[in-house]
Chain A
Amino acid sequence: MIKTPDLIASLAANATPVRRLRPPVMRAACWLLLAAVVLTLLAVNQGIRPDLVQRLQEPAFVVSMSAAALTGALAAIAAFLVSLPDRSRMWLLLPMPVLIVWLSNVGYQCLTQWVAIGPDGMSLGEATRCFATLVLTSLPLSLAMLVMLRYAAPLRPIAATFMGSLAVAAITATALSLFHVIDATVMILMWNFGTAVLFVGLAGVFGRKMFRWVAPRTLYARD
């Protein structure tokens, strides 16, 4: 085993200048900007859902969508805060109130305006387009989040991945409700909640591996 003074000497010899991380809120803003760009590009490409203006007058829809978007923003901020060693773990609670509003609103809609899915309730074509939106939104955002959070790998990998994937899931759900006519409420629940669970689950399974892949090298040299 290398002696501690030797280790210190070799670390000091490797002390190349590093760029300090920007403040966490600013980094979250950068990530959200990327999310906005992705959503705009998708809007140009796929077109906003035809009945958006009409739907925007329904309070339930507005509340649900803005709660989803807000959850995304707050979860991103929380993820960047939690990824730093000296910030409190309590930041994890930041997106929780909005998250509860979002999910309970979706659940409430599901209960009150139950619409049975008829044979033509949702076509296969629409489902695949939904899936395409889901992948196109979430993939670049997840990768960006992963790279931006890589310094959290040796500290709080689970909390950071959880928050990061919650942010991605919420933004993706917003995108889905912007671009696709999913009126069968059970579908809304499925898509919204499903996306959230999907991303958090994927993060749980692959988070550590992916982090190892992008994390700074010296960390795992001794494992």
Chain B
Amino acid sequence: MTHDSHDHGPSLRLVGKDDRSGAHPTSQVARDVDWSILMARAQEGDRAAYHRLLQEITPYLRSLAARRHRDRGDVEDSVQDVLLTVHSIRQTYDPARPFAPWLVAIANRRFIDRLRRQGRTRDREIPLTAEHETFCESAANLGERPGERELEGMVSNLPPAQQNALRLLKLKELSLKEAAAVSGMSITSLKVNTHRALKNLRKMLLNRSEP
């Protein structure tokens, strides 16, 4: 990754000797001019310039996002959000004006939108804690529900192929492809065996409930 090297300064110093910018460090001004030029060229359809611009602003956006979001995934998502927004409204940039304020305004908008969305989600949803988790291994759930042991017994009475298919697909919730890879059975035979297993179980349960 070359990203980190961009953080410290621009690769092209156009106004490197310009000392008039009292408040801003020169490198920042240079970077801004650099980005302005790249964006102006991107607006004219220069793909290489656009690619370089997006690559250069990404670490900057990441550092801005890190101030608002704690989760790394959120930071990366926000950065991508900003990049998409920049792409879709790139015609609103006026090369006569500085680039950074334009970018930062868009970025802040996106970050705040994400924070708001997260706030709304938090109000509605409860995160799962360790106690909510359940395990497909029978040992973890021993005696949790009354009929469980009995059902487990019934499952172990099934023919081995059916038992295997049922455990992989229904209890471990693997996909057909994964289950086929694990068990070495074909997808068709997994389907057939699951179907038969469920049918047998249903029969057994019905027989049990009839005295």
Contact = CB atoms under 8 A, between A and B. Distances in A.
Contact of B91 (A18, A218, A219): A18
Given A151-B91, A155-B105, A219-B88, A15 B83 contact: no
Given A12-B47, A17-B44, A23-B94, A4 B80 contact: yes
A85 interface: yes
B87 interface: yes
B54 A8 contact: yes
Interface string B40-65: 00111111101100110010000000
Interface residues of A, number: 34
A217 B88 contact: yes
A85 B47 contact: no
Contacts of B110: 154
A20 B83 contact: no
A15 B80 CA distance: 16
A11 interface: yes
Nearest to B117: A223
Interface in A35-92: 83-86
B84 interface: yes
Contacts of A1: 76-77
Contact of A20 (B81, B88, B93): B93
B106 interface: yes
B101 interface: yes
Interface string B58-100: 1000000000000000001101110111011111111101100
Given A17-B45, A18-B43, A86-B102, A7 B80 contact: yes
A15 B45 contact: yes
A19 B90 CA distance: 9
Contacts, number: 97
Interface in A112-162: 151, 154-156
Chain B's interface: helix, strand, loop or mixed, by majority? helix
Interface residues of B, number: 37
Contact of B85 (A5, A8, A154): A154
Contacts of A9: 51
B92 A19 contact: no
Interface string A188-223: 000000000000000000000000000111110110
Nearest to A9: B51
B55 A17 contact: no
A85 B88 contact: no
A156 B95 CA distance: 21
A16 B106 CA distance: 21
A217 B87 CA distance: 11
Contacts of B132: none
A219 B93 contact: no
Interface string B20-53: 0000000000000000000000111111101100
B50 A4 contact: no
Interface of B: 42-48, 50-51, 54-55, 58, 76-77, 79-81, 83-85, 87-95, 97-98, 101-102, 105-106, 109-110
Interface of A: 1-2, 4-5, 7-9, 11-21, 23, 83-86, 151, 154-156, 215-219, 221-222
15 contacts: A1-B76, A2-B80, A11-B84, A12-B47, A14-B87, A15-B47, A15-B50, A15-B51, A16-B45, A85-B89, A85-B109, A86-B102, A154-B89, A154-B106, A222-B84
